[in-house]
Amino acid sequence: MKHLSIIAILLAMYSCSDSTGGRAGMAGQVREYKAIELQPQQTTLYKDYPTTLQGVQTVEIRPRVAGYIEEIFVDEGDLVKKGQILFRLNANDLQAQLRSAEAQVKVAEAQVATAKINVEKTQPLVDKNIVSEFELESVKAAYASAEAQLANAKANVANAKANLGYTLIASPTDGIIGNFPYRVGSLVSSSSAQPLTTVSNTATMYAYFSANETEFLALTKDLEGANTKQKLENLPAVELILSDNTAYPIKGQVETASGIVDQSTGAINIRASFKNPEGLLRSGGSGAVRIPQHFNNAIVIPQKATTEIQNKHFVYVVNAENKVVNTQIEVVAGNLKDAYIVTTGLKIGDKVVVEGITSLRDGTEIKPNVTPQQTGDNNSSNQ
């Protein structure tokens, strides 16, 4: 019986020893995690800005004289040339005004002739002291008045001819015809609420968009140039994404930016231009201007290596003791596929855990399986 008690005690002691050793063994196991050593990357981000399109020149076509529309020579959407006739107004009233003005010229010419004869007859009589000098001055004044009335009558004729010419309404520029709010038979005038139509010169299209102050500085701060205009000229060519989400085949260029920040929106208005030889782009159209931003020595990390808490991003960086440090970073929310560009928080050469991060805690010791990050272009996107 005594021997059985000793055996039981020994078994209990062995069991306790094994249990303690097991826990120590578990605690001594360091788990392996995959990590990358950061290397400088070349990459390009693309930022889309909603835009509204306008032709270089959009002209309202308005009549200069009142009249009924008698004929429309073009249709909505037609491409027209400068000087091409678009509308003809009824000219009956203006033709009558021209005839009346021409008749007044004849009357005035007759009055001038009569006044001239009176001067010619009066002059000899004055020379012979038959009539007074006052009489001569009176007929000369009548002659001058008649000539002035003739000049006025001729001016009325010129004005009537001009008004008659205004019944033919021509395009002042090359472009595309807009809508017709008025049809044949409508009475129109220079004070009509709407123009007869518009003509948009769309050989070159302007794309207007806006960026906030931070975005604008990010786009321009590293560009060469003594001023903003010169910096914008050095921006890479930009793309126009159409409303059907396809890319317009001709690239454009950012040309100008407003000199002030809109206090109500915090935005800077920007203009890009695109050639439009086939007339595919129309004034009033919409889309997006896609601007590339190139990075030559960027820090790029996989999105799976990050955690996000309250809109803040964190990664686990392996320190010299192979312990992970939960590190806050700032990233550019670009369009790289499954990756971020890091702007602050990391440096070249840092080792970042890229797999299994959900099981890590700050200060955890790991066995890092480090692979140097591949260098090269990172331009794949999820546009």
First to last CA, the chain: 83
Amino acid type, 42 = Q
As a whole number, mean pLDDT of residues 86-104 equals 93
In terms of C-beta density within 10 A (0-12 exposed, 13-18 middle, 19 or more buried), how is residue 223 classed? middle
E strand residue ranges, the chain:
32-37, 41-61, 67-72, 79-80, 85-89, 168-170, 175-177, 187-188, 197-212, 239-242, 253-257, 267-275, 286-302, 307-309, 312-318, 324-332, 339-344, 351-353, 367-372, 377-378
Q: What is the pLDDT of residues 278-289, one digit of tens each?
A: 889 988 899 999
Q: At residue 325, what are phi and psi to the nearest 5 degrees?
A: -120, 120
| Residue 343: pLDDT over 80 | yes
* Domains, the chain, with CATH or none: 31-43+296-378 (2.40.420.20), 47-56+200-295 (2.40.30.170), 63-82+170-194 (no CATH), 91-166 (1.10.287.470)
pTM above 0.75, yes or no: no
pLDDT for the residue 13 = 44
Amino acid type, 200 = S
Q: Which residue has the tokens 């009956």?
A: 92
Local confidence band at 238 (pLDDT 50, 70, 90 cut-offs): very high
Local confidence band at 136 (pLDDT 50, 70, 90 cut-offs): confident
The percentage of residues in the chain with a pLDDT greater than 70, rounded to a whole number, is: 90
In terms of C-beta density within 10 A (0-12 exposed, 13-18 middle, 19 or more buried), how is residue 267 classed? middle
One-letter-per-residue 3-state SS of 161-172: HHHHHCCEEECC
pLDDT for the residue 84 = 97
Q: What is the pLDDT of residues 240-256, one digit of tens each?
A: 999 999 999 999 999 99
| Residue 8: pLDDT over 80 | no
pLDDT for the residue 382 = 38
271 with 253: CB under 8 angstroms?
A: no
Q: At residue 283, what are phi and psi to the nearest 5 degrees?
A: -60, 140
Q: What is the pLDDT of residues 251-280, one digit of tens each?
A: 999 999 988 888 888 899 999 999 999 889
Local confidence band at 125 (pLDDT 50, 70, 90 cut-offs): confident
β-pairing, 85-89 with 168-170? antiparallel
Q: What is the pLDDT of residues 163-203, one digit of tens each?
A: 999 999 999 998 889 999 999 999 999 999 999 999 988 88
Q: Which residue has the tokens 């906030």?
A: 212
